[in-house]
Amino acid sequence: MPEAHIEEIIEPDLPIIDPHHHLWDLRPLVASFPTPLHPFVETLVPAAYYNFDTLHADTHSGHNIVGTVFMECGAFYRNGAEHALKPVGEVEFVNGVAAQGASGLYGSYRPCAAIIGHADMTLGDGAVPVLEALIAAGNGRFKGIRHAAAWDADPEVLGPPFHAPAGLYNSDAFRAGFKHLGKMGLTFDAWLLEPQLPDVISLARAFPDQPIVLDHCGTPLGTASYKGKLHERFDVWRESIRELAKCPNVSVKLGGLAMAFCGMPEQGPAAGTASETLAAMWHPYIETCIDAFGPERGMFESNYPVDRWGATYLVLWNTFKRLAHGASAEEKHALFAGNAARTYGIEHLLAA
CA–CA separation, 336 vs 66, rounded Å?
11
Q: What average pLDDT score do residues 49-62 get?
A: 97
In DSSP terms, which residues pair with 49 in a beta bridge?
25
Measured at the CA of 66, the angle between CA 21 and CA 117, to 5 degrees, comes to 30
Residue 27 near residue 48 (C-beta atoms within 8 A): yes
Q: Which of 10-14, 216-220, 258-262, 287-291 has the lowest mean pLDDT?
A: 258-262
Contacts of 351 (CB under 8 A, 6+ apart): none
- Residue 157, pLDDT score: 94
Does the pLDDT of residue 263 top 60, yes or no? yes
Rounded to 10 deg, the angle between the 52-59 and 88-102 helix axes is 50
Q: Are 7 and 315 in contact (CB under 8 A)?
A: yes
Contact 312, 47 (CB under 8 A): no
- Predicted structure pTM score: 0.96
Higher-confidence residue of 351 and 239: namely 239
Q: Using pLDDT thresholds of 50, 70 and 90, give the confidence band for residue 1.
A: very low
Report the C-alpha gap between 258 and 309 in whole angstroms.
Answer: 6
Reduced to 3 states, what is the DSSP secondary structure of residue 56?
helix
Q: What is the pLDDT of residues 229-250, one digit of tens each?
A: 999 999 999 999 999 999 999 9
- The residues, any chain, with a CB within 8 Å of residue 51's CB and separated by 6 or more, are 23, 25, 97
Residue 351 binned pLDDT confidence (cut-offs 50, 70, 90): confident
What is the average pLDDT value for the chain, to the nearest integer? 95
pLDDT at 352 over 70: no
Q: What is the pLDDT of residues 73-108, one digit of tens each?
A: 999 999 999 999 999 999 999 999 999 999 999 999
Predicted confidence at residue 2, as pLDDT, reads: 44
pLDDT of residue 46: 83
Distance CA 196, CA 199 (A): 6
* DSSP per position, 97-138: HHHHHHTSTTTT-EEEEEEEE---GGGGGGHHHHHHHHHHHH
Given a cut of 90, is residue 54 above it in pLDDT? yes
Residue 5 DSSP one-character state: P
Dihedral of CA 255/322/58/31: which sign? positive
Write the CB contacts of 60 (distance below 8 Å, at least 6 apart in sequence): 109
Taking a C-beta distance cutoff of 8 angstroms, is the pair 196, 232 a contact?
no
**Mean pLDDT for the stretch of residues 59-75:** 97
Are the C-beta atoms of 75 and 93 separated by less than 8 Å?
A: yes
Is pLDDT at 4 greater than 80 in this prediction?
no
Q: If we measure between CA atoms, which residue out of 160, 168, 166, 223 comes closest to residue 190? A: 168
Whether residue 21 has pLDDT greater than 50: yes
Tell me the percentage of the chain whose pLDDT exceeds 90.
88
pLDDT tens readout for residues 158-185: 988 888 999 999 999 999 999 999 999 9
117-159 pLDDT, tens digit per residue, is 999 999 999 999 999 999 999 999 999 999 999 999 999 999 8
Residue 5 has pLDDT above 80, yes or no: no
